[in-house]
């Protein structure tokens, strides 16, 4: 039986501490199951990677709603290669690996070089079928084997009013 307000404060304080401890335990269990920054972003670009995995190029089809408006937006991402505006033979030794994107519209013989890492945007194309070949390239513009994708799409004819 509680005899004074001092006993009540001790009891409340003990319950409060127990609640705080319980919340802390629950939060630490949740954070232990959460993904780390490395899980999401990959290895830090500040430390060399031994035996780097091959570079990969992942390309989405053009966004259909934009195609209907005559605009081509092609999103892509890379794995095991950072897209950066770094060029030259010395950069071939950089780890983690760096490079850039080449893309060719409708069989053009020279590439457009892109080191932004952003969505490829093409506007002003005539109505009809088109092809874009995207490829990853190293710092001296050599295509990286196995890192090329072709995207085919049709620009619709303008709507008659």
Q: Which stretches of the chain are DSSP H helices?
A: 5-33, 37-41, 64-67
Whether pTM > 0.75 for this model: the answer is: no
Q: For residue range 72-117, what is the model confidence (pLDDT) as tens digits?
A: 999 999 999 999 999 999 999 888 899 999 999 999 999 999 999 9
Confidence class for position 137, pLDDT limits 50, 70, 90 = very high
Q: How far is CA 123 from CA 66, 80, 120, 131, 150, in A?
A: 10, 30, 10, 14, 18
Name the strand (E) or helix (H) holding 136.
strand 128-137
Phi, psi (degrees; rounded to nearest 5) at 85: -80, 60
Contacts of 66 (CB under 8 A, 6+ apart): 72, 73
């Amino acid at each position: 039986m509680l005899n004074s307000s001092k006993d009540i404060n001790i009891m409340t304080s003990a319950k409060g501490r127990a609640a705080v401890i319980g919340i802390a335990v629950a939060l630490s269990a949740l954070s232990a199951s959460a993904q780390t920054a490395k899980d999401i972003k990959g290895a830090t670009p500040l430390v060399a990677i031994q035996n780097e995995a091959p570079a990969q190029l992942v390309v989405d089809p053009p966004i259909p709603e934009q195609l209907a408006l005559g605009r081509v937006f092609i999103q892509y991402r890379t794995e095991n290669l950072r897209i950066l505006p770094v060029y030259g033979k010395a950069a071939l030794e950089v780890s983690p690996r760096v490079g850039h994107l080449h893309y060719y519209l409708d069989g053009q013989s020279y590439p457009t070089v892109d080191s932004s890492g952003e969505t490829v945007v093409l506007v002003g194309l005539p109505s009809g079928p088109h092809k874009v070949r995207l490829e990853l390239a190293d710092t001296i513009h050599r295509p990286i084997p196995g890192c090329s994708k072709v995207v085919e799409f049709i620009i619709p004819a303008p709507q008659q009013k």
